[in-house]
Structure 1
Amino acid sequence: MSSSTPLVSLCQQATFIKSASLVTQCPPDIGLEVAFAGRSNAGKSSALNTLTHARLARTSKTPGRTQLINFFRLDEERRLVDLPGYGYAKVPLELKAHWQQHLDAYLTGRRSLAGLVLVMDLRHPLSDFDCMMLEWARKSGIPAHVLLSKADKLAFGAAKNELLKVQARMRKELRSDATVQLFSSPKRQGVEQAHEVLAGWLFPPEVEAGQADGES
């Protein structure tokens, strides 16, 4: 899909809708939305901000700051979703259990979920959480795309080698057909490729074709 799609323009105008601590607090389950997930400190919020050209997601040097499901409006029918980060968060076990239950309920029950973007630190990919999310996506039939973030921390050759290793492990060990790319928020590396994936999910050809037929 070319960059002529309205996605880039919509991302530049993205606005916060609401935060939810319970699935019942989420916006109406209509239209299409893409969720961003990632282990705490993987660079998820920075990636989301880079892709939208706005400081939508809160970034912090303290991992685990995103404790709610945050919804951002692209237009009347499309949204981006920032899911809670997991991993290093120094929070009570009861709160972690609540996050896990909330996340599971969202992922399994959200009909408008069109795709999952999983952000991994290129230097520490495929954590237990990452593998769990890829397994869930595979079993649920939800398309997934991996952003190997912080690619600027490695030389290009080393980063490319890590990309190939992650791809191979995902195919062989996890039987995942998720797509994978290198990404760097500071360098804006991989932004166009990521936008193409998002556009494919949020502007599916069959929907556009149906709208065209309806207009004719």
Structure 2
Amino acid sequence: MIRKAQFVVSNTTPEKCPKPDRAEIAFIGRSNVGKSSLINMLTGVKELAKTSQKPGKTQLINHFMIDDRWFLVDLPGYGFAKVSKDKKVKWEKMISTYLTTRQNLCGVFVLIDSRLEPQKIDLEFLNWCGEENVPFVVVFTKADKQSKTQTDKNVKAFLDKMAEIFGDYPDYFVTSAEKGAGKEEMLTFISDLIAEYEAEQTN
């Protein structure tokens, strides 16, 4: 359970991020995947991450301090078409630099819209994470927006595609920000990642 969550800083470059002196968990996904809603649901703070009907709202690396113990990071979405090519290239460089150089990063939660069939852009991004040894977990969002049967079908189709790439299913969660589904499981998983990181630091 998260007792305290506060905004720390927004940055355009990974170099300016807070000192990497504690465990860090990042959230990323395609624009409009429900990232802000999920972060607000997990932390229990309604307006922590700004939700918006307009895709591409998060354009910076946003750090939040959780329980004075670890950082939660809200990253810009990938694959947002309505920005200039130049801006898109800058975003991609910013995100890839952050993901590959941030030494206190324990896990990256990659959000996937459970209402959709497997999207090429999501699979490509996860493939890139695998190649770059970025420790990722898949989070299916908006599970309450259609029948459980349809959600299960889409989730399985996506996981099967992942298995084709990696030879195995990744760690994954099925969530609903509105209903709170998946919250406890995700927080337990995050807590384990942080404890593991802290144990390594003391050795």
After TM superposition, the score normalised by the length of structure 1 is 0.85
Distance 1:148 1:75, change over 3 A: same
Question: What is the letter of the counterpart of residue 32 of structure 1?
Answer: A
| 1:142 counterpart residue number | 134
CA deviation after TM superposition for structure 1 residue 163, in Å:
1.9
Does the aligned pair in 1 maintain the 2:109–2:136 contact within 8 Å? yes
Say whether residues 1:34 and 2:25 are aligned partners. Answer: yes
| 2:57 counterpart residue number | 65
State the SS of the aligned residue for 2:128: helix
Give the counterpart of 2:7 among 1, 10, 16.
16
Question: What is the letter of the counterpart of residue 130 of structure 1?
Answer: D
Cα distance in 1, alignment partners of residues 91 and 200 from structure 2: 36
Q: How does 1:157-168 map to 2 (within 5 A)?
A: 157-168=149-160
Question: What is the letter of the counterpart of residue 70 of structure 2?
Answer: R
Cα distance in 2, alignment partners of residues 88 and 143 from structure 1: 23
- Number of aligned residue pairs: 202
Distance 1:153 1:140, change over 3 A: same
The worse-fitting range, judged by mean Cα deviation, of 184-193 and 153-162 is 153-162
Question: What is the letter of the counterpart of residue 63 of structure 2?
Answer: F
Cα distance in 1, alignment partners of residues 198 and 76 from structure 2: 31
Considering only aligned residues, what root-mean-square deviation do their CA atoms show, in Å?
Answer: 2.2
Cα distance in 1, alignment partners of residues 198 and 50 from structure 2: 34
Cα distance in 1, alignment partners of residues 197 and 49 from structure 2: 29
Does the aligned pair in 1 maintain the 2:118–2:157 contact within 8 Å? no
Q: How does 1:1-216 map to 2 (within 5 A)?
A: 8=1, 11-54=2-45, 55-124=47-116, 126-175=118-167, 177-204=169-196, 207=199
State the SS of the aligned residue for 2:55: coil
CA deviation after TM superposition for structure 1 residue 86, in Å:
2.3
CA deviation after TM superposition for structure 1 residue 75, in Å:
4.1
- Identity across matched positions, percent: 34
Cα offsets for 1:37-92 (capped at 9, x unmatched): 00001111111110000121111111001000000001444110000012335222
State the SS of the aligned residue for 1:34: strand
Q: Which has the larger radius of gyration?
A: 1
User: Structure 1: which 5+ residue stretches go unaligned?
Assistant: 1-7, 212-216
Question: What is the letter of the counterpart of residue 121 of structure 2?
Answer: F
State the SS of the aligned residue for 1:63: coil
Question: What is the letter of the counterpart of residue 199 of structure 1?
Answer: S
